[in-house]
Structure 1
Amino acid sequence: MRSLALVLIALMLAGCWDNLDIERRALVLGTFVDLVSVKAGEGGEQDQFELTMEMPILRRMAARAGGGGGGGGEGQEETLPTWRLTVTGSTFAEAMRKAATRSERQLFFGHQKVLLIGQELARRRNLVEVLDFWARSRESYLDITVLLAEGRAEEIFSARPKFARSVSIFLQEQSERQIRTSRFIKHNLSEVWAALYGDRDILLSRVTVVPGQEPLELQVSGTGVIREGKLVGWLTPEETQAAHWVTGQVRGGEIIPLPVPELKRIFSLELCRVENKVKSQVIGDTPTFTVKLYITADIIEKIGSPEPLSAPILRQIEERADELIKQRVEYVIGKLQRQYQADVLGFGKKIEENNPRWWEAVKGNWRSIYAQAPVTVEVQVSIRRTGMVS
């Protein structure tokens, strides 16, 4: 009986074997990775990975959230309630082991928000290599947002976004705003990993430093073009927007300025609904594509002549919108085909779905075929509302 009582007491006192108090953990919010050259033996150099990790100083972050300080006054440099740790290694695992000896707290990646990859690293190394460590880690979650830095990722960390609690949280929150814009795209680790292992090209959001701002500010805008796992170039925010029209990754609410010279006015159109249809056809040994866009828009602003918006004028606006959107879509398709030969719009997938036998015969040479494939773009814009005044 006494033995049974001791066993029951032991069970009640038992806890998780690997439980670690939060005060003894360093919570990694974001990791910024670059490729750097370090000195090797006999005067040589070798490439290594450089990791910069951002971690919160919890007491300062709590004080800031409660309005208790954490930043300087107007004109003073903003100080974020975070600290950073930078390490290098020939592999990410080696770098992490070094980091463990540099911090008195145990690094914990369960709260990681973003993984920012530097431009040089993305150009020279396949992203499968870069993401492998995080995809295998038991602590990392597959919903980490993956972003590209224009320049060095470590330099992005040096920025001080206004009102931000941390650079990592700022980047994560900016990425979430894709619901209101299609000028960049949000991809998590799971989505990027699936694309890379499926031999698919992909767009990843670009992070840049806003020029002329002190302290440095950041923006998530435009995308990097990933072909065969490597960065081959960039799309501007407007080009990214046009690419999204083709793929149908637009939720509405996008604003485009529309100059109509013959009416001496500029209109702001809010795209309320974008429907896309992409059709493929193989004629002989030549694939052709037709992209049809059906767009419903509202006029939310008019600058210029006060003349009322009659039915003929509305038709002129619709025709001008058709023309503008068609030009932008044709341009970005041509850029992706001929400059980058990157099939991020999924034309090859359409061929595979509709002509599987032909696809099996040509998929090994698809890039060169895709680069020359004729694409026809058709756009139909319908103005739904003009607002409370005409």
Structure 2
Amino acid sequence: MDEYKSLNFYDILCRLLPELKTCDAKSFSSDIVPTLKTVISISHTMLSGAYNYYQVVEMANLADVTKIGEDQRSISPDDICNIQYSSGTTGKPKGICLNHLQMVNNGYYIGKTLELNTENHRLCVQVPLFHVFGMVVCIMPSFHFGGTLVLPSPMYSPTSNLMAIEQERCNVIFGTPTMYHDLINLQSECNRTINLSKALIGAAAWSPKLLYNMKEVLKIKHIVAAYGATETTAIVFLSMMDCDKLETKTVGKIGECIEAKVVDTNGQTLPFGAPGELCIRGYVTMADYWGEPDKTKEVMDSQRWLKTGDRFILHEDGSGEVVGRLKDVVIRGGENIFPREVEDFISNHPHINEVHVIGVDNERLGEELCACVQLRRGSDLDLDELTEFCKGRIANYKIPSQLRIVESFPKTASGKIQKYVLRQQFNCVQL
């Protein structure tokens, strides 16, 4: 893709690789990145130095197809088929290695739990396909049990989603809490004729009020609560709930062939009902972080128990509930944002002496970003200036929507910032 909203990816690439603009796709090479041999653009225009995606599709010939058929015979279920990048606990991107067995079986489990094998389903896909939510949770169950996947628009569009649900007669929908907030607001205004049997919600925290509105406004008969992570392929807790008996706290029950335990800070297993860190083991746990054995050992022990970094309560009936997060991450509308990355960028502003970014409650998005800033002496700054500074330089969803100017930051005796104190001060603000 050459551009998205205010970001022009092709221009960014050309700034990094100036030779891209002066060569054709066949002759492209870079002294700066010698391993990069080919650039492919998903654009409707031809870009210098890059192949167009449609050109690549037309390049296939019988020999290529035959070669793929031969290669398939040597593929094992345990072979890595997807390196899914996620920022992990430190904010630095890590490649999460997933194999065929994990993606195929997790997709089967999801579809079976949702009973997609008992009826014809037409699934409205609101989520992006470059996340495991789209790739594993949406696509794989439909491959297993048959069905229609409806892709309303190239980019996220609540209006297109609601229109597709009506016009394409979708009876199943998956999405994040933010997406359901948007659908509820639109449906309240236009009252389209829709008939949704099931809705899966996950990827961020949701409120009891949202589930109630999903039932009352969207007329959803069954809401499916889900919990998972990229490191666990996709979903590990999942349950279908009757909308007359909504369990608003649970994220469902542990999946088939998956183990779960909750541990204290010393790694000792805690009893049912006690909060601690959730650990997962089973076919779903990633192989490793690509090329980072030390980082892998930080989250996975020798018995392949994966630490999720989430504060969790496990109940005797196999259900669980998330009560907090151990890692410093803000989940805005289902997108993981690591404050360190945003802080590092904003700290370049000439008027800022120190900045710390926190998550504050937001009814629609779950959480929103608030930049807590200590200014340089004699300087001033408002939210509009900060927003303009960030536009086109970091992703839109990473731009803080709130700004708080502080004289000093709460710190521990060792000088570490107490972000929980900042949250206590500002989290009461409703956007």
Q: TM-score range by the shorter chain?
A: under 0.3
Q: Normalising to structure 1: TM-score of the pair?
A: 0.22
Give the strand-richer structure, 1 or 2. Answer: 1
Structure exhibiting the larger radius of gyration computed from Cα positions: 1
**Higher relative contact order (CA closer than 8 Å, sequence separation 6+):** 1
